[in-house]
Amino acid sequence: MSSQPSQPSGIDSQRVSCTFCGYLLTEQLLALQCYPSEATSVPAGVPSDGGLTLCPDCASEVVALLTNWHTHGQPQIRTDAAIGDAYQIVASTCSFCADRTPRAGLGIELYRRVGDELPAYATYTLCEHCQSVFGEFLRSLPPKR
Ligand SMILES: [Zn+2]
Ligand SMILES: [Zn+2]
C-alpha cells in the first residue's frame, strides 16, 4: 500500500487499538463511526463516543454483516443539527431491513475497511429496530484473541 501524506479521516493508526480485543492496530482495520440523530442514542454494544475500530479478526463477522447493508448517498452535514439527522434525511429506507423509514435513525459512516468486500467509504442509516439488533450483534461477538 502506498503511503499517503494525509489521511482524510484523520485517524492515527499508531494509536488505535481494537475496540473488542484491545490489539494495537496497524494499517489493516475496520473503522466505523456512529452518529445518532437527535431522537436516538448510540446503541448498547457501541462505545459511547460512537467509534468502532476493529482488527481484521474481530472485523470478519461485522464485514459479513455490512456487505448486506444498503449504502445511501452522502449526507449534507449541517453545523446547526446533529450529524445523524443529516443521515436520516438522505436515507429513505433503513440500510439493514430496507423496509422501514429510519426515523430516529442512527447514521453509520464506514471510512476504513479490511479486505475487498466493502467499499472504501460508505454511509448507512439504521431504523430504531435495527439499531438494537446491531447493538446486540456487537455484544455477542467475543474477542477473537
Ligand atoms: Zn480485535
Ligand atoms: Zn431497519
> Quick one: cell of 21?
480485543
> Quick one: cell of 33?
463511526
Nearest bound ligand to CA 125?
A: 2
Indicate whether 45 belongs to any domain.
yes
pLDDT at 141: 84
Ligand 2 center to 26 CA (angstroms) = 32
**Mean pLDDT rounded to a whole number for the chain:** 89
pTM score of the predicted model: 0.87
Indicate whether 20 belongs to any domain.
no
Ligand 1 center to 25 CA (angstroms) = 8
Nearest bound ligand to CA 54?
A: 1
Of 72, 82, 59, the closest CA to residue 122 belongs to 72
Nearest bound ligand to CA 59?
A: 1
CA 78 centroid distance within chain = 20
Ligand 2 center to 27 CA (angstroms) = 31
Number of domains in the chain: 1
Nearest bound ligand to CA 143?
A: 1
Residue with the larger pLDDT of the pair 32 and 26: 32
Residue with the larger pLDDT of the pair 7 and 68: 68
Q: Cα angle at 24 between 123 and 58, to 5 degrees? A: 55
Indicate whether 117 belongs to any domain.
yes
With a cut of 60, say whether residue 121 has pLDDT above it. Answer: yes
With a cut of 80, say whether residue 102 has pLDDT above it. Answer: yes
Spatial separation of the C-alpha atoms in residues 12 and 44, rounded to whole Å: 25
Indicate whether 24 belongs to any domain.
no
Least confident interval from 23-27, 33-37, 54-58, 129-133: 23-27
Q: pLDDT, tens digit, for every residue of 79-100?
A: 999 999 999 999 999 999 999 9
Indicate whether 10 belongs to any domain.
no
Mutual angle of helices 128-140 and 56-66, in 10-degree steps: 150
Per-residue confidence band for 3, with pLDDT thresholds at 50, 70 and 90: very low
Count of residues in the chain: 145
Domain extent at residue 121: 29-140
Indicate whether 36 belongs to any domain.
yes
Inter-residue contact 124 to 110 (CB < 8 Å): yes
- The 3-state DSSP class for residue 130 equals helix
